């Protein structure tokens, strides 16, 4: 689920300086580069673990059909990484932020390795392409639209919390109808959040007014990449429930 870092409100104010050089495009390009790197790391890690009985066995006990101790750590550790990067933004160095982001991508790959065990490789690849297309369209829309998506984004964030509650409830109800409704709403929410987050990052980039080598801007790039990464992954997982073919 999306444990998204929405700590940009304070950060955005801190970096709206009076320096004159707009770097919105360069900033966004850096954000997308880091997001792409993280997705690549996640994909390679997921494939590596899914292809190795020993590695996947360290996460999942096939005899008891439950997660191992390490499996539970891998499942919940990414939440801690998101909180650490968001709340520790001011104190962490750019190098440490980058290291945490890559470690987060590896942990997500370990966690998502189960996807390759449940769904066929062809359907996972097909869903990835559909996700990439939808994400790309909404990213362009968020970058080019003149409409202020701030209120729209606030509504979507409330919907995210609603989705989390609904998913927890359905863990006990095991309702296929409710799961379908959650998946539909999830696709809509994270499709919209992609446009909202890109617009917000564009504004942050325009407000920096400094060169990309500035430590604060470099850390903002990582934080922005984390946000878009989470949008992409959540959109992919919700779409997989519709497009994925189980083995």
Decide: 48 and 63 in contact? Cβ < 8 Å. Answer: no
Flag whether 237 is in a domain: yes
Mean pLDDT of 192-211: 83
DSSP H helical ranges for the chain:
8-14, 24-51, 53-59, 69-87, 94-118, 121-144, 150-173, 176-208, 215-243
Band (23; pLDDT cuts 50, 70, 90) = low
Mean pLDDT of 2-29: 54
pLDDT tens, residue by residue, 78-103 = 999 999 999 998 899 999 999 999 99
Query: Which burial class, exposed, middle or buried, applies to 176 when counting CB atoms under 10 A from its CB (0-12, 13-18, 19+)?
Result: exposed
Band (14; pLDDT cuts 50, 70, 90) = very low
Flag whether 175 is in a domain: yes
Mean pLDDT of 181-186: 92
Flag whether 18 is in a domain: yes
Q: How many domains does the chain have?
A: 1
pLDDT at position 209 is 58
Band (16; pLDDT cuts 50, 70, 90) = very low
Flag whether 136 is in a domain: yes
Least confident range from 16-20, 149-153, 192-196, 241-245: namely 16-20
In the predicted structure, residue 3 carries a pLDDT above the cut 60: no
Band (15; pLDDT cuts 50, 70, 90) = very low
- Give the C-alpha separation, 244 to 116, whole Å: 10
Flag whether 247 is in a domain: no
In the predicted structure, residue 213 carries a pLDDT above the cut 70: no
Mean pLDDT, the chain, whole residue set: 86
**Among 132, 148, 111, which residue's Cα sits nearest to residue 35?**
132
Flag whether 179 is in a domain: yes
Residue with tokens 């959650």: 182
Flag whether 24 is in a domain: yes
Strands 60-61 and 66-67: antiparallel
Which tokens is 238 given? 């919700």
Q: How many CA atoms lie within 13 A of 96 on its CB side?
A: 11
- Give the C-alpha separation, 230 to 244, whole Å: 20
Mean pLDDT of 3-21: 44
Percent of the chain predicted with pLDDT > 90? 55
In the predicted structure, residue 67 carries a pLDDT above the cut 90: no
- Give the C-alpha separation, 199 to 205, whole Å: 10
Flag whether 173 is in a domain: yes
Structural domain for 176, as ranges: 8-241
- Give the C-alpha separation, 149 to 196, whole Å: 6
Which tokens is 219 given? 């850390």
Mean pLDDT of 143-170: 90
Query: Which burial class, exposed, middle or buried, applies to 241 when counting CB atoms under 10 A from its CB (0-12, 13-18, 19+)?
Result: middle
Mean pLDDT of 51-60: 86
């Amino acid at each position: 689920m999306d444990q998204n870092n929405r700590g940009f409100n304070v950060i955005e104010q801190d970096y709206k300086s009076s320096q004159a050089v707009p770097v919105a495009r360069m900033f966004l390009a850096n954000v997308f580069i880091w997001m792409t790197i993280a997705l690549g790391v996640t994909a390679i890690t997921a494939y590596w673990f899914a292809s190795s009985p020993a590695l996947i066995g360290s996460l999942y006990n096939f005899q008891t059909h439950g997660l191992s101790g390490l499996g539970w750590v891998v499942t919940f550790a990414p939440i801690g990484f998101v909180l650490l990067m968001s709340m520790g933004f001011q104190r962490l160095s750019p190098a440490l932020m980058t290291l945490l982001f890559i470690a987060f991508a590896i942990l997500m790959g370990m966690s998502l390795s189960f996807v390759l065990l449940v769904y066929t490789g062809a359907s996972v690849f097909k869903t990835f392409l559909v996700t990439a297309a939808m994400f790309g369209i909404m990213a362009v829309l968020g970058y080019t639209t003149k409409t202020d998506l701030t209120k729209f984004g606030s509504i979507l964030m409330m919907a995210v919390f609603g989705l989390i509650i609904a998913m927890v409830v359905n863990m006990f109800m095991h309702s296929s109808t409710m799961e379908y409704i959650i998946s539909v709403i999830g696709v809509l929410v994270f499709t919209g959040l992609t446009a909202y987050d890109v617009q917000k990052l564009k504004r942050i980039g325009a407000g920096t007014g400094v060169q990309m080598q500035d430590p604060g801007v470099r850390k903002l790039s990582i934080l922005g990449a984390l946000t878009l990464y989470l949008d992409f992954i959540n959109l992919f997982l919700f779409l997989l429930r519709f497009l994925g073919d189980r083995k």
